[in-house]
């Protein structure tokens, strides 16, 4: 399991990438052992999903007049979100392992996946405060949704930076990889949500 010190360095490295620091890789352990260890980062993400699920439950309740049927409860949303996280966590890296060599960037797949996994923690830590402020009543639902939308756009841009600077992909290829990431995420989350919660 990754140590706290490794997690803190990786978060610092993730910020360095956003700042376009050319030496950002120095914050990450890019060894073979670190490749497999980076998948254990999901352990740090799970507690954050309890907060996200609570916020989504409240949002759906507030919007109950705009959806069909009864808004899902916290338990169903939490199970759906955790199941989605578990599948998404492996889906994109596996896809990239097979696809990247076809675009002549296969030699940098391992460092890319390591940084990609660790950056997911940094991204979550940036996005969760918005949900906390909403749950505390500081942000109304409209503000929380707007802020979340802006953060999602920032994440898409950040994933593009990872593909460009860590994987070394050309612009067109990097855009394609980000699109694959987004499509996989939407497909998996929609399928899991429909299976556990049903249509909204």
pLDDT one-digit tens code per residue, 41-59: 999 999 999 999 999 999 9
**Amino acid 200: pLDDT:** 65
Give mean pLDDT, residues 172-200. 93
Average pLDDT of the chain is 94
**Amino acid 64: pLDDT:** 80
Give mean pLDDT, residues 11-37. 94
CA separation for the pair 23, 174 (Å, rounded):
20
Record the tokens describing residue 41, joined without a space: 């980062």
First to last CA, the chain: 38
Q: Which DSSP category does 200 fall into?
A: -
Model confidence over 128-173: pLDDT tens digits? 999 999 999 999 999 999 999 999 999 999 999 999 999 999 999 9
Give mean pLDDT, residues 82-89. 97
CA separation for the pair 99, 109 (Å, rounded):
10
Residue % of the chain over a pLDDT of 70: 99
pTM of this structure? 0.93
Domain boundary assignment for the chain: 4-196
pLDDT over 80 (residue 14): yes
Record the tokens describing residue 136, joined without a space: 């505390």
Cβ contacts of residue 123 below 8 Å, gap of 6+? 14, 155, 158
Cβ contacts of residue 32 below 8 Å, gap of 6+? 110
pLDDT over 80 (residue 69): no
Q: Do the Cβ atoms of 58 and 74 come closer than 8 Å?
A: no
CA separation for the pair 106, 167 (Å, rounded):
8
CA separation for the pair 184, 67 (Å, rounded):
25
**Amino acid 162: pLDDT:** 96
**Amino acid 39: pLDDT:** 97
């Amino acid at each position: 399991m990754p140590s706290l010190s490794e997690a803190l360095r990786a978060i610092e490295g993730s910020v360095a990438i956003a700042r376009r620091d050319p030496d950002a890789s120095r914050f990450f352990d890019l060894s073979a052992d670190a490749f497999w260890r980076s998948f254990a980062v999901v352990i740090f993400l799970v507690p954050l999903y309890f907060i996200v699920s609570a916020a989504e439950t409240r949002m759906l309740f507030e919007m109950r007049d705009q959806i069909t049927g009864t808004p899902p409860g916290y338990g169903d949303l939490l199970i759906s979100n955790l199941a989605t996280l578990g599948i998404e966590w492996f889906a994109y890296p596996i896809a990239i392992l097979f696809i990247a060599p076809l675009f002549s960037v296969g030699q940098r797949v391992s460092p890319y996946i390591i940084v990609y996994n660790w950056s997911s923690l940094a991204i979550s830590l940036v996005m969760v405060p918005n949900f906390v402020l909403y749950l505390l009543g500081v942000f109304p639902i409209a503000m929380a949704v707007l802020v979340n939308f802006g953060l999602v756009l920032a994440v898409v841009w950040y994933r593009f930076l990872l593909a460009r600077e860590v994987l070394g992909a050309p612009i067109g290829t990097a855009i394609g990889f980000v699109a694959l990431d987004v499509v996989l995420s939407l497909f998996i989350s929609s399928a899991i949500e429909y299976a556990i919660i049903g249509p909204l």
